[in-house]
Amino acid sequence: MLIKKPSDVKSSEITPENIYRNRRDFMKDTAALALGGSLLGGASSGLAQDGDALKARAPEALSLAAPAPWWESKFAEVTPAPDQEPYFTGETLTPYRDVTRYNNFYEFGMDKSDPSSRSGSFNIDPWSVEISGEVAKPGTYNLEDVLGPMQLEERVYRLRCVEAWSMVIPWIGFPLVDLIKRFEPTSKAKFVEFETLVDPDTMPGVTSRFAIVDWPYREGLRIDEATHPLTFMAVGLYGSYLPAQNGAPMRLVVPWKYGFKSIKSIVRINFRETMPNTTWNDLQANEYGFYANVNPDVHHPRWRQDMERRLPQTLFSRQYIETRLFNGYVDQVASLYSGMDLAVNY
């Protein structure tokens, strides 16, 4: 078995950048789509190596219907990802079917396959977002008002789960700071709190008698973390709309933190003076801290964090990678925590 360092990633494993950027061109290439359809079956084990493999995964994303007509025009004008870190990485993309079928979204059930198989009746139209707390412009906004003014761009981020597996995902969205600015937080806003939808009718996991999560799912960031250029609000992935299991219609992506901080299906953004409670911290404070920064040197009571499994893998070609401090985004975010003991503020 091979334990790879990130620098060992072969250039042949990096998705050619021009293939990735010309998404709209090969979206129109129906012949390639037909070819891709036949390539899809049995291609679950290979990593997306080149343009053909990427096309093979595009059909599923493209077949998604727009939640409402106004989404189509927003997705027609997506700024492509740049060609270097931190908003892009040359690491091999995790295939679409794994990104959308291997999820932790307990509102739909506890198994990794539950969110994709049990979200059939999940509805994101209509959807409203409540903005509250220390802002000049609080209120309940409908989704079109929230997303309408935002310019969508594509970013390729690493996502590192606290369970010691990771993916590389091409998101579509906008920097969270651009959204926050619109509501004009006051000087008292030191923290931002987020809430996920709870809907017993469309989210079967919510009514499970044995789930001890106290819904709704809550997460939070310090205001400087929330307004950091890296912090992203995603509304799509792989060039198309976000499926329910990935947190439709909009979810956070905070790539330097463990995945549970990247809260899904957001219905409320609240600005506070004090640090908010977060769901996992309430459940088990010794395992899940507020900061949850990816850190191979901070001991985790449940999972070893020195290495991670880059998905997808097969049993005999495993992709073990050394975990990097802040998930490899140390240059961008280390200054947020200067002077802080990361083992204490985990």
Binding site for another protein (CB under 8 A): 1, 3, 44-45, 94, 98, 101-102, 106, 110, 112-113, 163, 165, 205, 208-213, 283-284, 299, 301-302, 304, 306, 309, 311-315, 318, 320
Nearest approach, Cβ of residue 194 and another protein (Å) = 19
Q: Is the distance from CB of 235 to CB of 250 less than 8 angstroms?
A: yes
For residues 193 and 308, which CB has a smaller minimum distance to another protein in the complex? 308
Q: Between residues 87 and 288, which has the closer beta carbon with respect to another protein?
A: 288
Taking the C-alpha atoms of residue 42 and residue 48, their distance in angstroms, rounded to an integer, is 13
State the minimum distance, in angstroms, from the CB of residue 125 to another protein. Answer: 29
Whichever of 5 and 28 has its CB closer to another protein, that residue is: 5
What does DSSP assign to residue 185?
B
CB of 311 to another protein, least distance (A): 4
Rounded least distance, CB 213 to another protein, Å: 5
Which secondary-structure segment (H or E) carries 177? helix 176-183
Given the complex with another protein, which of 1 and 31 has the nearer CB atom?
Answer: 1
DSSP 33-66: HHHHHHHHTT-SSS---SHHHHHHHHHHHHTPPP
Phi and psi torsions of 95, nearest 5°: -55, 150
Of 94 and 240, which CB lies nearer to another protein in the complex structure?
94
DSSP state of 107: G
Note whether 97 and 169 are within 8 A (CB). no
Residue 218: strand pairing partners? 195
For another protein, which is the closer residue by CB, 164 or 226?
A: 164
Q: Quick one: CA dihedral 316, 321, 322, 323, positive or negative?
A: negative
Bond from prior residue into 249 cis (ω within 30 degrees of 0) = yes
133: three-class secondary structure by DSSP: strand
b/e for 308-323, b at 16 or more Cβ within 10 A? bebbbeeeeeebebeb
Based on CB atoms, which residue is closest to another protein, 108 or 141? Answer: 108
What's the closest the beta carbon of residue 133 comes to another protein, in angstroms?
Answer: 28
Residue pair 122/202 in contact (Cβ under 8 Å)? The answer is yes
Both tokens of 77, joined, read 């004008």
Mapped onto helix, strand or coil, the DSSP state of residue 129 is strand
- Comparing CB distances to another protein, the nearer of 121 and 208 is 208
Residues sharing a CB contact under 8 Å with residue 73, sequence separation 6 or more, in sequence order: none
Cβ 99 to another protein, closest distance in Å? 9
The nearest distance, CB 228 to another protein, in angstroms, is 28
Minimum CB separation from another protein for residue 319, in Å? 10
| Shortest distance (Å) from residue 140 CB to another protein | 30
Contacts of 259 by beta carbon, 8 Å cutoff, 6+ apart: 104, 159, 160, 161, 162
Choose between 51 and 204: whose C-beta lies nearer to another protein: 204
Q: Edge-to-edge strand order for the sheet containing 191-196?
A: 139-142, 128-133, 266-272, 191-196, 218-222
